[in-house]
A = this chain, B = another copy of it.
Amino acid sequence: MRPIDDSPIVRDGKVLILAMDHGLEHGPVDFEPVPETIDPSTVFDVGTHDAVTAMAVQKGVAEAYYPSYEDDVNLLMKLNGTSNLWMGEPDSAVNCSVDYAVEEVGADALGFTLYGGSNNEIEMAEEFRKAQENARKHDVPMVMWSYPRGQGLKNDRDPETIAYAARQALELGADIAKVKYPGSPENMEWAVDAAGKVKVVMSGGSKTDDYAFLKQVEGCMAAGGKGLAVGRNVWQRENPTEILDALEAVIYEGASAEEALDR
C-alpha cells in the first residue's frame, strides 16, 4: 500500500479536490449562475490551477473530457452518485467499477459516498468494501464522502455526527474523509481526531462570500484538516482563479483568510 502522501492527489500532505458532479447530483440548474460551466471543459480548465490536486467527476464526464486534460489534471473518479430526482431513502448508484476507472480511464484516485444512518447504509458500506479492497489492489487512494443522512438524522451538521462520519471513514478503510464543516475549529478538531491517520477535508458546500468561505477553510486547517473538496464555491464565481489563489495560500502556505485576500 503506497503511502497516501506519495499520491499525486496530495501536495505537501494537503488536498484540494475540485468537484464537478453537480450535473448528476443536483441537475443542470447548478450551472445557471455561470452558464458556461454547463460545459465541463470550462471547469476542467479551472482544474488546471496549481492549487487543485484532483478533479472529481463521474465516469461519463471523465470519458468525454479527461483525455484532453490528463497531462494537467489528476483524476478522482467518483464511483457512485445519483440524481436528486430520486425520492427514496438516501442512496447512491455505483456508476463506475474500480477496474474501469483505473485501467480504462486512468483514475489517480477514487471517491465513494456513504450515507451513514440511511436505510441504505449497510448496502452502501458493502459496496464501499468491494471498491476499497479493489482500490488497494490497484494501489489507488480512496476518498469517502462521509455524509450521515436519512431516517433518524435530525441534524447532519451536529458536531458529534460529523466526528462520527470522520470515524466511519477511518474504521471502514478510507484514506481521505470528506465531511461537512461542523461550524467551528473546535468541532472540526473532534472530527480530525476521530479520523486518526485518515486525512479530513471539509466540503465546500453552497456558494458563500469569499471571506466567510476562506475563514471556514482557515478554521478547518487550524483544526488539523488537510484541505478542501469544493465545487460551487469555486466555479460559481466569475473569476475562479482568484479564489483558487487564495485557497492555495490558506491550504498550502498556512495563510489566514485575511492574508489570502490581501495578496
Contact = CB atoms under 8 A, between A and B. Distances in A.
Contacts of A218: none
A261 interface: no
B122 A92 contact: yes
Nearest to A133: B100
Contacts of A24: 167-168, 171-172
Interface stretch (A10-18, A191-199, A235-243, A246-254): A191-199
Contacts of A83: 116-117, 121, 164, 168
B119 A87 contact: yes
Interface in A117-142: 117, 119, 121-123, 125-126, 128-129, 133, 136
B96 A61 contact: no
Interface in A50-89: 58-61, 63-65, 81-83, 85-88
A151 B85 CA distance: 9
A128 B82 CA distance: 13
Given A24-B167, A82-B122, A60 B151 contact: no
A222 interface: no
B196 A152 contact: no
Contacts of A129: 59, 93-97
A82 B125 CA distance: 8
Contact of A167 (B28, B126, B171): B28
Contacts of A117: 83, 85-87
A60 B198 contact: yes
A85 B164 contact: yes
A21 interface: yes
21 contacts: A24-B167, A28-B163, A28-B193, A60-B170, A60-B171, A60-B173, A61-B171, A61-B196, A63-B173, A82-B122, A85-B116, A85-B153, A85-B161, A86-B116, A86-B117, A86-B121, A88-B119, A88-B122, A92-B122, A93-B126, A100-B133
A174 interface: yes
A115 B161 CA distance: 25
A38 interface: yes
Contacts of A59: 129, 171-173
A148 interface: yes
Contact of A39 (B29, B82, B88, B196): B196
